[in-house]
């Protein structure tokens, strides 16, 4: 794949910084609201904001009939299934641990892209991804080599990882055909259709908590405007320019940013194992971006 300049890499990195903070913001909102309700409100705020962006940047497009099923499939993966896995996982594990597991996405994404999109992967891609994965594993254990997360929480988050890989493949096809704002706007709109019955059926008894607006409004707005809107537009742009494998490598940096947000906002302890893991994750990211010299 030819060099697309620094912009796609920069947009991917900014998206990861925002998503790094989203784990902490979600944890703050969950003190008042249930996960499904939180995501539904995120999408209800996100869609008008994206519609405004679409109007300002004149990106309004007609969706081809043949792509409607693909949009519904992509939205079923993410935001629907992905946020169910991520959000219910966050109820059981810390933000840093949750983001560390999400960082395993690049380990699986190139494999899916190779078989489904025929994207090429190099030996250095594989080495870098393995090194980053080892860094993630270090972040999951304490000094006594005991895992610091619940099994059920890990299962929910690994479900989110599998779903995210499937979403990346569908997203690549849409990103090649539509503007990033269009893609995210349509997916989030469909996401509302998926989440509304879920919330009414599964979380109806806790809906009165929505009235306690002052308890969650700031982190919810950050989630809706930054995490569910701007970051997805930036990431979609990156996938369109770099491909699934190279864009997903930046997911490795999310635990770094989440650890920083967690330390300063909710005072989560950053252990030596976590710090070493962060360094190894960065090393893996660098290795995965090295291109082999042609003979």
pLDDT in tens, the chain (295 residues): 445 689 999 999 999 999 999 999 999 999 999 999 999 999 999 999 999 999 999 999 999 999 999 999 999 999 999 999 999 999 999 898 898 888 777 777 667 777 776 767 778 778 877 887 788 778 777 666 677 678 899 899 999 999 998 898 889 899 999 999 999 999 999 999 999 999 999 999 999 999 999 999 999 999 999 999 999 999 999 999 988 777 877 887 888 899 999 999 999 888 888 888 888 887 887 787 676 444 4
> Is residue 141 packed enough to be buried (19+ CB in 10 Å), middle (13-18) or exposed (0-12)?
middle
Is 3 among the domain residues?
no
Helix, strand, or coil (residue 2): coil
Among positive and negative, which fits the CA dihedral 135, 10, 267, 214?
negative
Q: In whole angstroms, what is the distance from residue 158 CA to residue 246 CA? A: 21
Determine the pLDDT at residue 4: 64
Find, among 161, 106, 108, 134, the residue nearest to 289 by Cα. Answer: 106
Alpha helices in the chain (DSSP H): 7-29, 35-56, 68-75, 82-90, 95-102, 105-117, 123-139, 151-175, 180-202, 217-221, 231-242, 244-248, 254-265, 272-288
Find, among 289, 290, 280, the residue nearest to 247 by Cα. Answer: 289
Is 282 among the domain residues?
yes
Is 260 among the domain residues?
yes
Q: In whole angstroms, what is the distance from residue 242 CA to residue 228 CA? A: 21
> Is residue 150 packed enough to be buried (19+ CB in 10 Å), middle (13-18) or exposed (0-12)?
middle
Is 7 among the domain residues?
no
Q: Which domain holds residue 233?
A: 12-288
Can you tell me which residue has the tokens 């190099």?
122
Upper half-sphere CA count for residue 251 (Cβ side, 13 Å): 29
> Is residue 221 packed enough to be buried (19+ CB in 10 Å), middle (13-18) or exposed (0-12)?
middle
Determine the pLDDT at residue 117: 67
Whether the predicted model's global pTM rises above the 0.95 cut: no
Is 294 among the domain residues?
no
What does the longest C-alpha to C-alpha distance in the chain come to?
A: 66
Determine the pLDDT at residue 143: 67
Q: Could you give the number of structural domains in the chain?
A: 1
Is 248 among the domain residues?
yes
Is 5 among the domain residues?
no
CA 282 to chain centre: 18
């Amino acid at each position: 794949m030819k060099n697309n300049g620094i912009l796609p890499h920069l947009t991917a990195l900014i998206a990861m910084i925002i998503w790094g903070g989203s784990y902490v913001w979600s944890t703050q909102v969950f003190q008042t609201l249930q996960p499904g309700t939180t995501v539904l409100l995120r999408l209800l705020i996100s869609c008008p904001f994206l519609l405004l962006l679409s109007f300002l940047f004149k990106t309004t497009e007609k969706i081809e009939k043949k792509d409607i099923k693909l949009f519904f499939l992509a939205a079923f993966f993410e935001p629907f299934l992905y946020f169910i896995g991520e959000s219910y996982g966050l109820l059981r594990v810390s933000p840093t641990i949750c983001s560390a597991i999400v960082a395993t996405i690049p380990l699986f994404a190139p494999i899916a892209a190779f078989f489904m999109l025929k994207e090429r992967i190099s030996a250095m891609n594989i080495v870098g991804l393995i090194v980053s994965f080892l860094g993630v594993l270090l972040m999951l254990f304490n000094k006594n080599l005991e895992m610091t997360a619940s099994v059920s929480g890990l299962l929910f988050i690994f479900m989110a990882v599998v779903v995210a890989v499937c979403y990346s493949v569908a997203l690549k096809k849409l990103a090649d055909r539509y503007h990033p704002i269009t893609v995210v706007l349509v997916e989030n709109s469909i996401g509302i259709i998926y989440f509304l019955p879920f919330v009414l059926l599964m979380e109806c008894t806790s809906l009165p908590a929505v009235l306690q607006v002052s308890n969650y409004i700031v982190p919810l707005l950050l989630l809706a405007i930054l995490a569910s809107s701007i970051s997805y537009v930036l990431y979609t742009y990156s996938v369109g320019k770099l491909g699934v494998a190279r864009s997903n490598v930046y997911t490795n940096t999310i635990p770094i940013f989440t650890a920083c947000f967690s330390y300063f906002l909710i005072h989560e302890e950053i252990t030596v194992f976590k710090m070493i893991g962060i360094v190894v994750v960065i090393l893996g990211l660098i290795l995965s971006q090295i291109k082999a010299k042609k003979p």
